[in-house]
Amino acid sequence: MLQVTFVHHSCFAVELDNSMLIFDYFPKGDMNGFNFTGELPEFPEGKDIYVFASHSHKDHFSLEILKWADRFSGIRYILSKDIRLGKNYLAKNGIDVNIKEKITFVQPCEKYQVGNMEIHTLRSTDAGVAFLVSIEGRYIYHAGDLNLWKWEGAGDLINGKETRAYKHEINKLASYNIDVAFVPLDPRLGQHARLGIDYFMKNINARYVFPMHMWQDYSVLEEYLSHISNPMFSGRIGQITGENEVFEL
């Protein structure tokens, strides 16, 4: 079994035969002028539940995920080390300080074993980490904010450094056969929006690639697809059109 649910923005749920993985969840509602409406699927009974947060930005992490442990005792969390969870902060927000026993804090360019998963982290070009997860014979990649952030007006020096850093990290994935990848395609970058995902598609062997971080502007995906003439290439891309979509792979 391999089922992907696009919740919203960069949040996806991946259900396997024995496990459920949740990436970069934050609750629906208003944020930065956007009204996110995504709902998590029901957590399946009897399966291992793993919850990931790539970094502390509020469009990738919410304290709400820690409250799920009240209902699911076996839940495990994999959080970037830039997410600070002091005892006083947790207590102030009504979260049992013992939650840290269920958390593995990760940093870039390391390897971790959590339950039945092996996790490799990459260094983000923004904040935190990207995740390459090996579980149940599958490889699942979630980029977080690891992207080729080339901005108009930033200048050749900054954009050149950004490009080199991005390619250096992505090239670390070249030896893997990835089953599902979640990769940014951010419309705020304008004409440069597709550079990161395009480099990923051309250099990494991934069976399915889901664009994310689109800020509810799915026209950026339509535009990207319009530039692809090879149907075998475009057929690898999860064609998201809205929140709460489910894909059986």
φ, ψ of residue 199 to 5 degrees: the values are -65, -40
Q: pLDDT band at 32, cuts 50/70/90?
A: confident
Mean pLDDT score, 49-64: 97
Domains and CATH numbers, the chain: 2-248 (3.60.15.10)
pLDDT digits (tens, 9 = 90+) for 152-202: 776 777 778 889 999 999 999 999 999 999 999 999 999 999 999 999 999
pLDDT digits (tens, 9 = 90+) for 108-125: 999 999 999 999 999 999
The predicted pLDDT at position 176 comes to: 98
Contact 109, 121 (CB under 8 A): yes
* CA distance to 49, 71, 99, 101, 224, per residue, from 94 (Å): 22, 15, 11, 16, 44
Q: Is the pTM of this model over 0.85?
A: yes
